[in-house]
Amino acid sequence: MGNFQYTGNLEETFLTDTFAVIFQHNVPGIMEISRDDCWKRIYVHGGNVVHAISSDRADRLGSHLYRSGLLTRDDLLETVRERDHSDKRHGQLLIEKGLLSPKELYEAIRGQMESIVWSVFSWQKGQVTFKIGELDGAGKIRIHLPMRQVIVRGIKEVADTKSLVARLGTKSTVFRPVYTTENLIELALDRDEYALLSLIDGQRRFFDVCNQGPFGMSGNARLIYAFRLLGLVDTVEPAPGQGAGVKIRLGGESSV
């Protein structure tokens, strides 16, 4: 099992679906998403995303600190030069020079890693590889992003709403709730997200839930896909002769 490796293509499979499979099987490992000459690696353990790195210069800690307004350009250039001529990590120098407190640095690193994770969900082309294995903790700062929250946020970033919604069914598809309160607490749904989930009652049609929800047709459909992917809702099988395919239009996009 330690040698298992999955390889996929983003044009064929949503990245969120791959995360959902990893979550369902609760396996640790490293996911690498690559396109052109850029790669990003996301480390998973214990049902959480715990670390992320990237080959993109824009994803580096210094770049993130500068964009966030936590470092001036002069401080960034000075500490990068010093890092390149010493055996110290950039974060260590920032603390030693009093530019950031340890808490501020941790929060900045967490923000940097989160931005790496969120960015890959908007990629429509590229290769995905997942290899089962434990994370080497040496020199790696860990964050803890629950996979349920990662999947929901990731689906919000997906660009191809049409293909995503087409997988849910038709205008007349009906979903029923199958969640527990514990599921919702870990998912950390806000009031509007919970309001949308509450509309799913085993009777309302998919189209009606999308039309009545708080996020607009497209946004509601995305979240329903997330609920379905995470096993919070399930499909009610239509009666014989019902459930014929009907086109649904979401923000100018049509889907079956």
pLDDT for residue 123 is more than 60: yes
pLDDT at position 146 is: 92
Looking at residue 238, what is its pLDDT?
60
For residues 220 and 233, membership in a common domain is answered with yes
Q: Are residues 27 and 85 in the same domain?
A: yes
Residue 137 pLDDT: 62
Average pLDDT over residues 76-94: 92
Q: For residue 163, what pLDDT band results from cuts at 50, 70 and 90?
A: confident
Q: Which long-range contacts (CB under 8 A, 24 or more apart) does 20-26 make?
A: 20/151, 20/229, 20/230, 22/130, 22/147, 23/47, 23/147, 23/148, 23/151, 23/230
At residue 136, does pLDDT exceed 90?
no
Which residues are CB-contacts of 144 (< 8 A; sequence separation ≥ 6)? Answer: 48, 49, 50
Average pLDDT, the chain: 87
Q: Which tens digit of pLDDT belongs to each residue from 225-239? A: 999 999 999 999 765
Write the CB contacts of 241 (distance below 8 Å, at least 6 apart in sequence): none
Contact residues for 184 (Cβ-Cβ < 8 A; gap 6+):
194, 197, 232
pLDDT value of residue 65: 94
What is the domain count for the chain? 2
pTM of the prediction?
A: 0.82
Residues 168 and 150 reside in one and the same domain: no
Task: Give the pLDDT of residue 227.
Answer: 95
Question: In Å, what is the CA distance from 200 to each residue of 70, 203, 206, 208, 211?
Answer: 43, 7, 8, 10, 12
pLDDT tens-digit readout, 2-12: 466 889 999 88
Residues 152 and 166 in one domain: no
Percent of the chain at pLDDT exceeding 70: 90
140 shares a domain with 189: no
Average pLDDT over residues 69-81: 93
Domain range for 23: 1-157
Task: Return the bridge partners of 254, or none.
Answer: 249
Burial class (CB in 10 A: 0-12, 13-18, 19+), 4: exposed
For residue 73, CA distances in Å to 60, 97, 252 come to: 14, 15, 43
Is the Cα torsion angle 179, 180, 183, 188 positive or negative in sign? positive
Using the predicted structure, report yes or no on whether residue 116 has a pLDDT greater than 50. Answer: yes
Compute the average pLDDT of residues 104-128: 93
Looking at the structure, do residues 104 and 144 belong to the same domain, yes or no?
yes
CATH number, residue 233: 1.10.10
- Dist. CA 171–CA 246, nearest whole Å: 6
Compute the average pLDDT of residues 106-133: 93
251 pLDDT higher than 80? no
> Are 118 and 81 found together in one domain?
yes
Under a CB-based contact definition with an 8 Å cutoff, are residues 129 and 39 in contact? Answer: no
Determine which of 10-14, 15-19, 73-77, 244-248 has the lowest per-residue pLDDT on average.
244-248
Q: What average pLDDT score do residues 166-176 get?
A: 91
The verdict on 209 and 113 lying in the same domain is no
| Model pLDDT for residues 47-57, shown as the tens digit of each residue | 899 999 999 99
Residues 4, 90, single domain; the answer is yes
**Predicted confidence band of residue 241 (pLDDT cuts 50, 70, 90):** low
Domain boundary among the residues 108, 137, 157 is at 157
User: Please, are residues 105 and 15 in contact by the beta-carbon 8 Å criterion?
Assistant: no
pLDDT > 50? residue 245: no
| HSE (side-chain half, CA atoms, 13 Å) at 98 | 0
- pLDDT at residue 160, rounded to an integer: 76
182 and 72, same domain (yes or no)? no
